[in-house]
Amino acid sequence: MTSQVRGLNMAITNAEDAVSLLSVAETMYVDQTSIVQRIRELAVQAANDSNSAKDREYMQVEVSALVAEMDKIANQTMFNNESIGGWKNFQLGTDAGQSIETHITTLSGHSGTTYGTATQDYAAGSTNLEIKGISTSGPFAFGDIILAGLYNPDTYFIQGVSAAQMHDEGTFTQTIALSAGLAESITAGNEIVSSIGTIDFSITDDPNTVENEQFTLGGRGSLYRIDLSNDASGALLGIDSALKTLASVRIGVGGLQNRLEHTISNLMGITEQTSAARSRIEDTDFATESAVLAKMQVLRQTGTAMLAQANARPQLVLQLIK
């Protein structure tokens, strides 16, 4: 019981630290959402023909600065000198396996808005993956560049896609074919697959053109694709997708924060009752012992009074004889 109580107390500390970490992530998302909202304001302004071409160029300069700041926030947000993003395992109990694993997504200006998780385990070398989308932007398309893998994700080119099954909440399930087999195995539900770029095959091949110019950095919905100078109205679609993506990851973090608050309450209740049970074994019950002490004192005092009375009666008899 002592081991359990001490473990529970540390688990409560772990849960409170996890809430603090998630609060840092929430702050990151709040700041990034504010940035995207400002970018959207600029896109709405730029879409109005009361602005000159030079005005739109100035707006694009501000957008570029804001996107760069969004990248900086994603890369430099830390907790306990560790990156805030990635897979986190929170130990919330006294025994092995009593933990919660979650992925904290860090969104940069390069991030596309189409991403998901593998629906099953896939061994290294697999080329066909079934993906459960966890964003309402999608599905994946031929030419997308994705990242797949847990600790050291690799880049893959999607050379084929199946028709996506769309779900009521706007997400999707889809099978994609990769141009090369997976470098390492991935586990169902744990591997984020994120769109980071697209190859545009509509560009005519030209021996005088560098091949990499066909590659567009950033997946569909990437903020780096915003061009207020030439297509301010079209930029609104990508910006709205980015806002939806931020909202979806914030919902996940907020839900986990709420879950951890209930976990802390439950752990506190278990600790209190376990400590009480241990106390009944190890410690004196002062209430009971105090009552026994009072009882014995009353009996002792009563006995003394009775003996004193008994000793007094012979003296009275002698007084009568005299």
At which residue do the structure tokens 């991935």 appear?
186
**Is a pLDDT exceeding 60 seen at residue 303?**
yes
The mean of the pLDDT values for the chain is 83
| pLDDT value of residue 111 | 66
Q: What is the pTM of this model?
A: 0.68
List Cβ neighbours of 319 (8 Å cut-off, separation of 6 or more).
Answer: none
DSSP state of 190: T
- Expressed in percent and rounded to 5, the helix, strand and coil fractions of the chain are 50, 20, 30
- Tell me the H-state helices in 204-285: 232-282
Least trusted range by pLDDT, from 49-58, 87-96, 238-247: 238-247
Q: What angle do CA 69, 243, 249 make, to 5 degrees?
A: 90
What is the C-alpha to C-alpha distance for residues 117 and 301, in angstroms, rounded to an integer?
A: 80
Note the pLDDT of residue 58: 94
